[in-house]
Structure 1
Amino acid sequence: MAVQRRRPARRAAAALGAPAAAALLALLVLAQASGSAAAETAAPTPPPRRRALHQAAPPPPASAAAAAAQGAAGPVEGGLPALEFPDPEPDEEGEDGGGGKASIPATTMPPCCKGLPPGFPAPGIPVVIVDTEGAVLQPHKAKVPGKLCTCGAPGGLDYEVPARVRIRGSSSAEHQQQKSLAVDSRHPRNASRKGEIEFMGFPAHDEWILYAPEGDPALGLRNWLAYGASRRMGRYASRTRYVEVFLVQDRRPLSREHYWGLYIAGEAVARGRERVDVKKFRPERDVSGGWMLAYENDNTKGDYFFDTAASRLTFLVTYPKATQDQLLWIKNFVDGMESALIAGNATAVAERLDVAAAVDYFLGTELTKNPDGYRGSIKLHKDRGGPLVMGPMWDYDEAFGECCGYPIEGWKGDGSSNGTSGGSAISPEGWRFNVCNEPQRCKVEPLDGVSQWYRRLWLDGDFRAAAARRWAQLRQERLADAWFTAEVAQAGHDAAHEGAGRALLGCALDRWRVRTAIANATDRNFERWRGALANPQFPGGWRQQWDAAAAALQNWLLAHLAWMDGAFAKLAAPGAGPDAYLHPAPAPAPAPAAAGGAANDAGLQAAAVPAPAASG
């Protein structure tokens, strides 16, 4: 049976014409007829092709409370069970291996390492050699066969194996000089087979990434911090380690000319017991899972995708390779979740959406203020018989105040445009999820991806309360200021210095600590990519430039954490509405009555969030 095949990527929202300030409150309601597709057992119908909505949306309400008055939330039907949040991942630093079974034995410093120039690998910074056997990598092309070699990996877990390699990324693949790479390890005796290795000491798998940090002035600290924060929330995120890469594309002997700079080695988002832990898809048993989805600004780079009937978002299916009927099943499941959001049916929402995971994804995206956190690099998954789960967190190189992120307006001028979100797209003040409540701030892409879901959830006082309680719990220790400042100071530290790294907790950033571990590697990286990295504003050279970037990151982060603390405190005040965080708070609007006399703002029942564990 035919499946949805590739079509050209598009940004259809430019043709919308109508304001989309209220997103789900307007766009979803326009398509509320999708509720009939809520049951996953519904008879398959062809998924609609995405199209611009030419109907005029209602004008944006003055506030979220006024939006509720429009009746978009619908009546309250049922409540949620208590939310349960996970403990931190045991491997919170992302550097300890184990847990998976490698199909290829490791060795220490294999023969491929003998050609390295003197001084490599440097202490604490492993080397990765990628040899394409003469093929020149090009953006947006298929993987080419080659070889993967590691030297100086933690625990002596080095490898020399066949591989398949490609340039990864979208805009970065086009515009960055230093390219990120996707690498699949293959079996030495049969390169057509997967070869699971404990790459850099990570749990065994065959899909890896080498992230080029050219786009982050702090050389990858943004992804490092975001993934570490996710793990401390108990949610999986790619384990990472700084490495230096040599890329050979000319069949010549390995030399310093092949030095490709400082990278972050990490795990690709893939199914696995130590990654996205969903069951293998066995449709003959149960079509309900596992599934892995992605939303990438309506781009459809893969062959398998579907359009939601209400929000008109295009979701890629990255696992499994589904038939038409199977695509219709997962489409109907997501449609049903959106219909439940529209109706304010908390019971149905909880059946289809892991609300605790949605809270954590919300907090992770908001604390980083990732411009792509709702509209560019969204990962979701669904296990067999389970709800839809937001995450894992992915792609944070523009986060922490670095950039606007297409398509948000108002980020220029040092983030001077505040709006009803409480800040600009890059300022330490303000939320990210509701920036597009104001259509003039999202002219090109007013849909803004799954922020539509969160803008609807935010209208529920109990969702806000659950987020506030979870935030307070995390800020006690797991996401305290001290953890963030220590991570900026010690990012990339060698496992042998674990004790010294822990001693940095509570200490402010200074030049010496930033320079430890990866400092010399950053110098070599700067020499390799001077044309892309040099900034004339720093006559003192690279070290001055990097110190300033790391300090700016830390200062922005601490200011934003303080703003979020204050915003949640305002929301906790008795009778506070969804926009109480604004400075100053807007005049209170009359509480709208829903069917049966219930207030629309109480759609989700109180969620019991576990009390923070005692520190020490």
Structure 2
Amino acid sequence: MKVYLWVAVVFLFSCSGGSGDSQPKVTLDTTPPQLILNGEDIVSIQQGETFNDAGVTANDDVDGDLTSAVLVEGEVDANVLGKYVLTYKVSDAAGNIATALTRTVIVVNDSLFLQVSIDTHGATIVDEPKILASMQMMSANETIYDGNIGIEIRGSSSQSFDKKSYGFETWDSDGEDMNFALANFPEEEDWIFYGPFSDKSLMRNVLIYQLSNEMGRYATRTEFSEVTINGEYRGVYVLMEKMKRDKNRVDVSKLKDDDITGGYIIKIDKTTGEAVGTDFSFSSLYDGFGESGGTQKIKFLYEYPDAEDLSDQQKAYIQGYYHGFEQALKSNQFTDATNGYQKYIDVPSFIDFFILNELSHNVDGFRISTFMHKDKGEKLKMGPIWDFNLAFGNADYCRGETTDDWAYKFNEYCPNDLSRVPFWWARLLEDPAFVTALQARWTELRGNVLSEAKVQSKIAAHSANLIYSNAVQRNFETFDVLGSYLWPNFFVGNTYEEEVDYLDDWVLQRMQWMDTAIANL
């Protein structure tokens, strides 16, 4: 209802015989128009779909229908995933401004990620042996694989999770291994569906593997996927390449009897069962503190070739090579470029491996899932990196959550842990030449691959894609774990956005600490 004010306008005048007393009445409009939103205030559309704005209706007590005068601020790009806000404003002829209204438009893509459907034909997936199953994989609504696979549960402690990870092979109609280029990856037969569970950002492994590849160090290629097994949705997964010798994976030569210098893939990992025996592994000359008399010496496991495929001569060679490296590293002449440790190792690969594990403060770093490889006639190289789901502040033990400690000093934080970091890293940092090379490499990377803007943009892009594909919603409806502690979470966010914000803030603080820490080595 309009409010009318009576305003007295007094005319003062002088004339012979009297004065005037007329008082004209003026009406002032002080009531703003009203905006009414047509349709919902939050609208979701598929990427590429035409957005038709339902708009608003505007009415004014004096001016009547002002809908045609409404101004809309903001715009929607239906081809780009994201959240867009439209703001509606209008004013009347008297200058009264209506209370603005907003509409949020979310552009999503339900088929953004690989859509995978697996049918086990009534069989149960177990931890060995692989069982026959059928798999259909779709990308952008097009079928890119429709055939047999052999599938099994994989992992160690992760097998206790409600959300399992799987190893699988692409098989032909006869159940034989068959190379196939899944998701435009180089063709191979061995693959992994990794199911992020305790990592509620869903992206820690994907992030570090991408950074490694951009640094020029091969790490498994990744592709976000959504997996359904026997008609039951099982959440967000990551399609990954299995670690193995291959020209497009770990590119080392096939080991032959006539040249025993390579290639080998060796790993430091948890030792259980047969892996403890000398037929399947060999020991360091030293424990994690560099003591030759220590009882907890580092174990090196044969990854490629399989232990049973190695001859005694080949085992003797690679064991001797490692022992020679360690002895050179422990010697008083360890910094000598000719006869010291540099005779045995590819220093740049060690530096990049160090940077990636320290950047993420990987609580398992250097001591579990730690791979190395040696090609024919070449030096020992570190990598590829593997398994960072407990990195980036996602562990509540042994200082795994901190941004201002060195990960390689794990033995000091948890001296009773059975899986120890080799003494190598502390000793390497005693060499001024190694430190200088590390500082130069860190400075170089901070100017490009590891700049704050580039790393944080990756986090933002992954989270946006996961959110605006509705994959996050489907995943956490299936596994209602947001706001709940899952071993070994340090931070527990109530929403997915809180989990991503924690990761983003943690990375920023870590990089800034490393700037100072590396400069002061």
Normalising to structure 1: TM-score of the pair? 0.60
Aligned to 1:293: 266
Aligned residue number for residue 191 of structure 1: 175
Q: Which amino acid aligns with 2:229?
A: L
1:376 CA drift (Å): 1.2
- The question of whether the paired residues in 2 share the 8 Å contact of 1:295 and 1:449 is answered with no
Q: CA deviation at 1:222?
A: 0.8
Point out the structure with the larger strand share: 2
Aligned to 1:164: 150
Partners of 1:324 and 1:182 in 2: CA distance: 31
Aligned to 1:360: 352
Match of 2:87 in 1: none
Identical residues among aligned pairs (%): 31
* SS in structure 1 of the partner of residue 236 of structure 2: strand
Checking the alignment, whether the CA contact within 8 Å between 2:212 and 2:356 is kept in structure 1 is: yes
Q: Distance in 2 between matches of 1:479 and 1:146?
A: 41
Structure 1's 144 and 548: CA in aligned 2 closer, same or farther, altered over 3 A? same
Aligned to 1:491, the other structure's residue is in SS state: helix
Match of 1:274 in 2: 248
Structure 2 letter corresponding to 1:443:
P
Is 1:305–1:327's contact at 8 Å kept on the other side of the alignment?
Answer: no
**Closer, same or farther in 2 for the Cα pair 1:145/1:153, shift >3 Å?**
farther
Q: Give the AA of the match of 1:347.
A: T
CA drift of 1:387 comes to: 1.2
How far 1:134 moved relative to its partner? 2.6
Task: Select which of 366, 381, 403 maps to 1:374.
Answer: 366
Preserved CA contact (<8 Å) 2:224 2:236: yes
Query: Matched residues in 2 for 1:533 and 1:549: separation?
Result: 9
The 8 Å contact of residues 340 and 346 in structure 1, kept in 2 or not, is answered as no
Specify whether residues 517 and 289 from structure 1 end up closer, same or farther in structure 2 by C-alpha distance, changes over 3 A only: farther
162, 181, 195: which one aligns with 1:177 = 162
Do residues 307 (structure 1) and 290 (structure 2) align?
no
Q: Specify the SS of the correspondent of 2:175.
A: strand
Matched residues in 2 for 1:549 and 1:277: separation? 36
Residue identity in the other structure for 2:354: F
SS at match of 1:434: helix
1:482 pairs with one of 442, 448, 453: 453
State the alpha-carbon separation in 2 of the partners of residues 448 and 404 from structure 1: 18
Q: CA RMSD in A?
A: 2.5
Per-residue Cα deviation, 1:130-179 (whole angstroms, up to 9, x for no partner): 3333321234x33222233211269x571123222111110011x21000
Query: What residue is the counterpart of 2:498 in the other structure?
Result: 548
Give the distance between the partners of 1:294 and 1:300, measured in 2 at CA: 16
Deviations along 1:300-357, whole A, 9 cap, x unmatched?
6657322223343211111113133322221111111111111115434223211110
> What is the CA–CA distance in structure 1 between the aligned matches of 2:374 and 2:328, rounded to whole Å?
17
In the other structure, the counterpart of 1:147 is: 134
- Structure 1 Cα separation of the partners of residues 349 and 370 of structure 2: 14
Gaps of 5+ in 1: 1-120, 249-254, 412-424, 493-512, 572-616
Question: For the Cα contact (< 8 Å) 1:295–1:314, is it kept in 2?
Answer: yes
State the alpha-carbon separation in 1 of the partners of residues 134 and 274 from structure 2. Answer: 26
Give 3-state SS (helix, strand or coil) of 1:564's partner.
helix
CA, structure 1 residues 536+316, in 2 after alignment: closer, same or farther (shift >3 Å)? closer
Give the structure 2 partner of residue 100 of structure 1. none
1:329 and 2:317 correspond: yes
Of 170, 188, 199, the match for 1:216? 199
Residue number in structure 2 paired with 1:261: 235
Select the structure that is richer in helix. 1
Equivalent-residue separation in structure 1 for 2:311 and 2:445 (angstroms) = 41
Check if 1:347 corresponds to 2:338: yes
String of CA shifts for 1:213-268, please: whole Å, max 9, x gaps: 1110212x1111110110111100111111100123xxxxxx3xx21111011111
Q: 1:356–1:157: structure 2 CA closer, same or farther, 3 Å change rule?
A: farther
Inter-partner Cα distance in structure 2 for 1:133 and 1:515: 30
Q: Work out the CA distance in 2 between the residues paired with 1:385 and 1:360.
A: 22
Match of 1:201 among 178, 184, 208: 184
1:104-146 Cα offsets, whole Å, 9 max, x none, are xxxxxxxxxxxxxxxxx9321111223333321234x332222
Residue 157 of structure 1 contacts residue 201 of structure 1 at CA under 8 Å; is this kept in 2? no
User: Aligned to 2:378, what secondary structure does the other structure show?
Assistant: coil
Counterpart Cα distance in 2 of 1:515 and 1:126 = 12
Residue aligned with 1:261, SS: strand
Aligned 8 A contact 1:244 1:260 in 2? yes
Question: Aligned equivalents of 2:191 and 2:458: distance in 1?
Answer: 23
CA contact (8 A) 1:130 1:147 kept: yes
State the structure with bigger RCO (CA 8 A, min sep 6), 1 or 2. Answer: 1
Q: Check the 8 A contact 1:225/1:487 in 2, yes or no.
A: yes
- State whether residues 371 and 404 of structure 1, in contact with CA within 8 Å, keep that contact through their aligned partners in structure 2: no
What is the letter of the counterpart of residue 535 of structure 1? S
Q: How does 1:576-615 map to 2 (within 5 A)?
A: none
Residue 444 of structure 1 and its aligned partner are, at CA, apart by 2.2
Letter in 1 for 2:517: A
Gaps in structure 2 of 5+ consecutive residues: 1-108, 288-296, 487-491
- Tell me which of 431, 439, 445 is aligned to 2:406: 431
**Inter-partner Cα distance in structure 1 for 2:418 and 2:123:** 41
CA distance in 2, matches of 1:289, 1:153: 42
Whole-angstrom distance in 1 between the partners of 2:119 and 2:328: 51
Q: Which amino acid aligns with 1:432?
A: A
Secondary structure of 1:265's counterpart equals strand
Aligned to 2:462: 491
Q: SS of the counterpart of 1:266?
A: strand
Q: Determine the structure 1 residue equivalent to 2:415.
A: 443
Letter in 2 for 1:384: K
Q: Partner of 2:219: helix, strand, or coil?
A: coil
Contact 1:128 1:151 in 2 (8 A): yes
Higher deviation after alignment, 338-347 or 293-302: 293-302
